[in-house]
Structure 1
Amino acid sequence: MATKKRVPDPVDAYLAKLTNPAARKTLGALRMQLRKLLPGATESISYQMPTFKVDGNAVAGFAFFKTHCGYYPFSGGVVPVLKAELEGYVTSKSGVTFPPDEPLPAKLVKRLVQVRLAEIATKTKKPPAAKKKALITDRVTDAAVKEATGRDWKTWMRALDKAGATELSHKQLVAHLAQEVESSWWQQSISVAYEQARGKRVVGETAATGFQVGVVRTLPMTAAELWAWITTQPERWLGTALKLEPGTEYEVPKRRGAPAVRGKVRVVKPGNRIRMTWQPDGWKKPATLQFALVPKPRGVSLTVHMENLPDAEAREAMRERWSKVLSTLAKS
């Protein structure tokens, strides 16, 4: 009888490939501690790092980079909560870094896990009835919808009434809005808001548009200067040279700690916005990435918006990525 071949454990393989002995020892010990703290968790590799998941929710992950180790709670809310306890460490909203030969104290790791588990428990509770029944027009301000689409809520309601939108199905309404609004998230939001306002949709019902994230920063430069930076130096924000013309396909090679990414440029409005697809290795479907420039009295506002992300982990990873890009741009 043939012996069944054993499938290598991906986390074992990850640790075995580490050439830094201190990092291998430190992360191996961290793994053992996480196993004790999370006895029912599953171990896997997510976003190129060993990850512990509980009921499908990523709770903790760790990785080694060229000079340091990192601990990641897969949430932007954990590190800020433990700000006082993390004093002295290099942190971001999504993680903590530390030297390979200076492991995180066991008590600190336990606190990071506890806070993340508490956060997950809170999010999985049934929301209060008042929040479930909130209208989209209550949650999204007139200023926000007008800046993104050119019209406030009242103007949209009137325009859609005039267009006979009460007789349209949801799909038809979205298609009608697509003639004027580029973002599929805004198409869905305006459609649902209209249906709620006209009694065609139960309050609290939402359209599924996937996970999304937006990062905004006002920069001390003109719109022309910012547009030039984006279009002439794509390798600084994308990671590869790119001809910004509709239909152009691109591919960013895999780097340490980051998967390869491929996509296609969809829309380019000079001086105003760029819209493109974004699909890292491992994602079943592409997300949509958009850059939008809005001149301000003292500079220009740059919004990086992504929609149709696969999950909350991807949302936090993209939030961190684009926050770093905008911080780099602000310093250049």
Structure 2
Amino acid sequence: MDLRRIVGQTKTAGFQVGVRRTFPISQEKAWELITSEEGLKLWLGESTNVFLKPSQKFVTKTVTGQIRVVKTQQQLRLTWQKVEWLKPSIVQIRFIPRDSNKTTISFHQENLNDSITREKMKVYWEKVLDEVRERIPNFT
């Protein structure tokens, strides 16, 4: 029996992907950027009402989900399901302080269906972090 797994494949939770970058901003500013209306649009998509409170459901033009965990300036955890997906995935965003003026923003997604979806989401989260980087000069 061949027990080798494909890159990103977990034993029990399908496929996963993680993307992180360190930015020259404080943990507080990183949180403000990601959770601001503009920031939410970057990673969730267009929406009129997204409230970052546990149990709160949300719908955007591209994804639906439910907020699971909100730890201010530290972590967000939520379900994430694109319209064409059969089941939701889990997204976790962490804000990891590196020193007083550097913070790593980490997007981790699990319960993805396959390696193709994993690769698409890797590109998606990298693009989100590129957009975050572009907005930092206007946000500090």
Please indicate, yes or no, whether the TM-score normalized by the shorter chain is above 0.5.
yes
Whole-angstrom CA distance in 1 between matches of 2:72 and 2:86: 31
State the match for 1:236 in structure 2. Answer: 42
Report the AA paired with residue 309 of structure 1.
Answer: L
Residue 252 of structure 1, aligned match among 60, 72, 87: 60
Q: 2:19 aligns to what?
A: 215
1:313 maps to a residue whose letter is: I
Q: Distance in 1 between matches of 2:11 and 2:108?
A: 18
Aligned to 2:81: 279
| 1:22-41 paired onto structure 2 within 5 Å | none
User: TM-score if structure 1 supplies the norm length?
Assistant: 0.36
List per-residue Cα deviations over 1:115-160 (Å, max 9, x = no partner): xxxxxxxxxxx68xxxx6xxxxxxxxxxxxxxxxxxxxxxxxxxxx
Cα separation, 2, equivalents of 1:331 and 1:232: 15
d(CA) in 2 for partners of 1:222, 1:299: 5
Structure whose residues are more often strand by fraction: 2
After TM superposition, the structure 1 = structure 2 runs for residues 116-265 of structure 1, keeping only pairs within 5 Å, are 207-233=11-37, 234-239=40-45, 240-241=47-48, 242-253=50-61, 260-265=62-67
Report the Cα distance in structure 2 between the residues aligned to 1:304 and 1:236, rounded to whole angstroms.
13
Larger Rg: 1
Q: Distance in 2 between matches of 1:302 and 1:312?
A: 23
In structure 2, C-alpha distance between the alignment counterparts of 1:237 and 1:207, rounded to whole Å: 27
**Same amino acid, percent of matched pairs:** 36
Q: Which runs of 5+ in 2 are unaligned?
A: 5-9, 136-140
Shift of 1:225: 0.3
Distance in 2 separating the partners of 1:321 and 1:222:
24
Give the 5 Å matches for 1:312-323.
312-323=115-126
Q: Which residue of 1 aligns with 2:7?
A: none
- Can you list the C-alpha shifts for 1:230-273, whole angstroms capped at 9, x where unaligned? 122212221124111111111111xxxxxx31111011000100
- Runs (4 or more) in structure 1 with deviation over 6 Å come to none
Counterpart-to-counterpart distance in 1, 2:112 and 2:121: 9
SS of equivalent residue, structure 1 residue 208:
coil
User: Per the alignment, in what secondary structure is the counterpart of residue 125 of structure 2?
Assistant: helix
Stretches of structure 1 lacking an aligned partner (at least 5 in a row): 1-125, 133-205, 254-259
SS at match of 2:13: coil
Report the equivalent of 1:301: 104
SS at match of 1:285: coil
In 2, distance between residues paired with 1:309 and 1:303? Answer: 17
After superposition, what is the alpha-carbon deviation per residue over 1:266-319, rounded to whole angstroms, capped at 9, x for unaligned? Answer: 110001000000111222210001100110035000110000001111101111
Identify the structure with bigger relative contact order (alpha carbons < 8 Å, sequence gap 6+).
2
Aligned pair count?
Answer: 124
| Mapped partners of 1:252, 1:323: distance in 2 | 20
